A and B are shown apart, each in its own frame.
Chain A
Amino acid sequence: MKRATKLAAIAGAAALLLSACGQAPPEDGASPTANDTAAAGGGTAVEGFKPCIVSDGGGFNDRSFNQSGLEGLQQAAGSLGVDYIQVQSASDTDFAPNIQNLLDQGCTFIVTIGFQLADATEQAAAANPDVNFAIVDNDSSAKGLDNLKSLVFNTAEAAFMAGYLSAGVSETGVVGTFGGQNFPTVSIFMDGFAQGVDHYNEVHGTSVRVVGWDREAQDGSFTGAFQANEQARQTAQTIIDQNVDILLPVGGPIYQSAMAAINDSGRDILLLGVDQDFFVTDPTTAPILLTSILKDIVVAVNDATMEAGAGNFSASTYVGTLENGGVGLAPFHDLADRVPAELSSEVDQLKADIIAGKITVESYLNQ
């Protein structure tokens, strides 16, 4: 026991020594903490505004929607000059208690991430009419709660453009996709992608095939989890083996397994990113990254938080579309020379047509 205490003390002292040579601030001016800095920043928020956020089981470093949601909230809190609280859920049974803890901490605006939190969020919103809520990736509008805003994204529109583009770029005439698990927020990418390929075939009289998604059955290839594991690598391998030369993996880090499979194959296979521009978030993908299908959760959460912070909360559902920039296609970056100018302008035209309603992209959000 004594020895353990000594060891701990030595370790602590060593750690302090390494960083203990700085300059102390003057005695009276207490050094500003992160919270104070934030409070000094602005002052546009309504009195007592306190934004808070709950993750699902994936945690805030998931390189996916939890992380994006937190970034959006941090941006808004920074520009409003208010303090925020983030809590991470370790398991499904944490959702309701975590929301309750935030309510107890006096949060006035609570963002929850993902459909798994839908029930807990809806119940908390019903029980606390004075507090505003927003939920990402779930449409709770049917509950008719005027303090709960749903933030959803019609990514099928952007995926449609990616599908059209891929069909035009593909040399083998086969493109592929696979997902983490088959539920609406994942399959919407795959379904939109397949519709885009079909549209290209219609326009150009070609017969480019999609592997990994069956529009009739609304089912396809799934790894079973959102993890870059052997299962994901094998799923990618299976799809690549069908002569695919463009691959769209949908679901957090599983693209890393797709990259491994692409490298193993030794063939010239291109990758499509999802959610964020992989060129920015993971530069290692750059040499094979054709484009990314963007789903701008950061902006959506930021906007919703700013609105609530200014006292203009509205429960109307936000649907990210090509029109409002909530979804989109990233630049081609390093692979711009792989895309013929003609195809590039066709894709731009496609965007205008979808916004104008000349082309309808089917998804679960507009059924």
Chain B
Amino acid sequence: MSDETHIPTDPEVAKAAADADPPEDNRWKDAVREIFSASPWVAVGALVLAFVVGSIMIAFTDSRVQEVSAWFFQRPGDTFSALGSAIGRAYSQLFQGAVFNVAFAERGGFLEGIRPLMSTLTSATPLIAAGLGVAVSFRAGMFNIGGRGQMIFAAIAAGWLGYVWSGLPFPLLLIICVVAGVLAGALWSGLAGFLKAKTGAHEVIATIMLNYIAFYFLQWLLMTPGMLRGVKGTPISNPVPDAAFPLLFGSRYTVSWAFVVSLAAVAFCWWLLNRSSMGFAFRAIGENPRAAKVAGINVERTMVVAMMVAGALVGLAGTQQALGVLASSGFGDAVDAGIGFDAITVALLGGSQPIGVLFAGLLFGAFQAGGRAMQAGARVDISIVAVIQSVIVLFIAAPPLVRAIFRLPQPSQAALARKADAKARAKAAKALAKSGSQDGTKESA
């Protein structure tokens, strides 16, 4: 940030960027790429470790464990059984709150028993949509932290139209509101993409700042009579029952058609990224913008479009909030419910692949539903769930980041190949030595 007032032109920016970014120092970019394309095994490993960390925290915050550990040396068995029962109870409640509850099933049959699973699907609905948005922007080489702002603008558009046009017939109003919300998200995100493409403003900074603008704009709308402010004088928007997503399986479950829309979004993203020429352009500028430019791709235009698609998907999540779980109550300034940021974790855990995002979204939905049940049933603080989620991020993101910060060498493809080669040779030698007198086994190294 210089004190000079002249605005740098495009070539200057490019030159400055080139100067500041010598070819050998791509470590940050590499680190981010590595983080967001974590292999499924890394994800599973991180998940297991997160549960271990969660167990430790549950154990040490449990009042019974604290009590009996006072006489640990006299009767250590007490402590271990208390540890076991605290952890067991917590995770059993987590599972029963997220998938299947035996007590419900005994009371009301199988359909009642899977009520927690349906609650998981409800919680997963916006996480999947927003996770897809973050994943798409990442595949195009951009980091969309603006989920909150995009969701807020989508909710404003959907919630406002849903109220003022509440006389329209059922499917029409819903469709109009969803389209409006998706467009609002796309435009808000496209703004960040436009700033990046035209001025070189980093999308991380731009999207974070746009979050604040959206948040305060929503607060103002909620505070101003005649805008979004509810008829009761409280800062909650008016309910939009006419524009709500209908429930999928009747009133027993909370899951609505919004979930089906999320599934459709997964299919769309899979097609977009893997089968369409637009998706190819996204991935090309994500992998190497210079090469993409040489290959004739309009990098700037593709950037804007990629951010708009990402914003549309995140906007869908905002619409699902406003017209889904919050349709009957109206929404306040926390309509995003942190999903804009959770979506980053979901995209990360899903390796930025649509199918991966689907499963990561379902898992995080299960965490939310199960965490609530764990709080009510096992008296475990709901923050434990946040810890588990954060530890997952930590284990996936930390190794590449630590390498980038301390300029440690990347385990590059060449090194990995060498390692694999050496391993194979050692194996072959071993096999050869072992087979000895036997008929020489043909190693396939």
Contacts and interface: CB of A to CB of B under 8 A. Distances in A.
Interface of A: 1, 4-5, 8, 11-12, 15-17, 19-25, 27, 31, 33-34, 52, 57, 85, 87-88, 90-98, 101-102, 104-105, 115-116, 118-120, 123, 181-184, 222, 224, 364
A120 B329 contact: yes
Contact of B379 (A25, A85, A120, A181): A85
B375 A115 contact: no
Contact of B68 (A5, A31, A88, A222): A31
Given A12-B59, A95-B329, 18 more contacts: A8-B56, A19-B69, A22-B71, A23-B70, A24-B78, A52-B376, A57-B334, A85-B376, A93-B321, A97-B119, A97-B369, A98-B372, A98-B375, A101-B373, A116-B234, A119-B330, A184-B234, A224-B216
B72 A119 contact: no
B75 interface: yes
B67, B69, B236, B329: residue with the most chain A Cβ atoms closer than 10 Å: B329
A34 B63 contact: yes
Nearest to A25: B71
Contacts of B372: 87, 94, 97-98, 101
Given A20-B70, A119-B239, A91 B223 contact: no
B72 A104 contact: no
Contacts of B52: 4-5, 8
B70 A19 contact: yes
Interface residues on B, range: 35 or more
A4 B79 contact: no
Contacts of A97: 119, 123, 254, 369, 372
B88 interface: no
Interface of B: 49, 52-53, 56, 59-60, 63-64, 66-75, 78-79, 97, 101, 104, 119, 123, 216, 219, 223, 232-236, 239, 254, 321, 325-326, 328-332, 334-335, 337-338, 369, 372-373, 375-377, 379, 381-382, 386
Contacts of A120: 329
Contact of B325 (A27, A31, A96, A184): A96
A181 B60 contact: no
A93 B66 contact: no
B74 A24 contact: yes
A33 B89 CA distance: 16
Given A20-B71, A24-B71, A183 B235 contact: yes
In order of increasing CB-CB distance, the 4 nearest A-B pairs are A22-B70, A119-B329, A24-B71, A20-B72
A22 B338 CA distance: 43
Given A19-B70, A93-B325, A119-B328, A101 B337 contact: no
Given A16-B72, A31-B68, A91-B334, A123 B376 contact: no
A94 B49 CA distance: 27
A22, A33, A52: residue with the most chain B Cβ atoms closer than 10 Å: A22
B346 to A, nearest CB: 16
Contacts of B328: 119, 123
A67 B219 CA distance: 25
A119 B216 CA distance: 24
B97 A101 contact: yes
A93 B254 CA distance: 12
A87 B372 CA distance: 8
B71 A23 contact: yes
17 contacts: A17-B72, A21-B73, A31-B68, A34-B63, A87-B376, A88-B382, A90-B337, A92-B332, A96-B325, A97-B123, A98-B375, A101-B376, A116-B332, A118-B329, A119-B330, A120-B329, A184-B234
Contacts of B59: 12
A20 B375 contact: no
Given A101-B97, A119-B239, A181-B223, A31 B67 contact: yes
A91 B328 CA distance: 16
A24 B328 CA distance: 54
